[in-house]
């Protein structure tokens, strides 16, 4: 039986692949795919998810190797940041 934590980890991998495997570069997210992921998967977690500036700032912040794409490790920094925010929020409810 898959534990809650194992399920959460599998889910993060599946979400990345859902967008990375759409077309083109199979192991990275382009800005367009990152935009779709943010709008579809994180509509409540980010401020103004549909604002083009949100995608620009997230891409700039995450793209540590400066190739204008988001690889799996860079995506993990994004999910880590969301988890830190979710943890902080859990103490304010």
Interface residues toward Ca ion, by CB under 5 A: 63, 65, 67, 69
Minimum CB distance to Ca ion, residue 17 (Å): 17
Minimum CB distance to Ca ion, residue 5 (Å): 27
By beta-carbon proximity to Ca ion, the closer residue of 10 and 65 is: 65
3-state secondary structure of 35: helix
Lookup: tokens for 84: 């830190």
Count of alpha carbons within 13 angstroms of residue 87, beta-carbon side: 6
Strand partners, 13: none
**In the complex, which residue's CB is closest to Ca ion?**
63
């Amino acid at each position: 039986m898959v534990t809650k934590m194992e399920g959460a980890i599998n889910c993060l991998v599946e979400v990345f692949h859902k967008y990375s495997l759409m077309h083109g570069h199979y192991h990275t997210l382009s800005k367009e795919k990152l935009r779709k992921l943010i709008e579809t998967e994180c509509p409540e977690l980010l401020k103004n998810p549909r604002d083009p500036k949100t995608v620009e700032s997230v891409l700039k912040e995450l793209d540590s190797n400066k190739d204008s794409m988001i690889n799996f490790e860079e995506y993990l920094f994004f999910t880590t940041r969301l988890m830190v925010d979710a943890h902080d929020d859990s103490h304010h409810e």
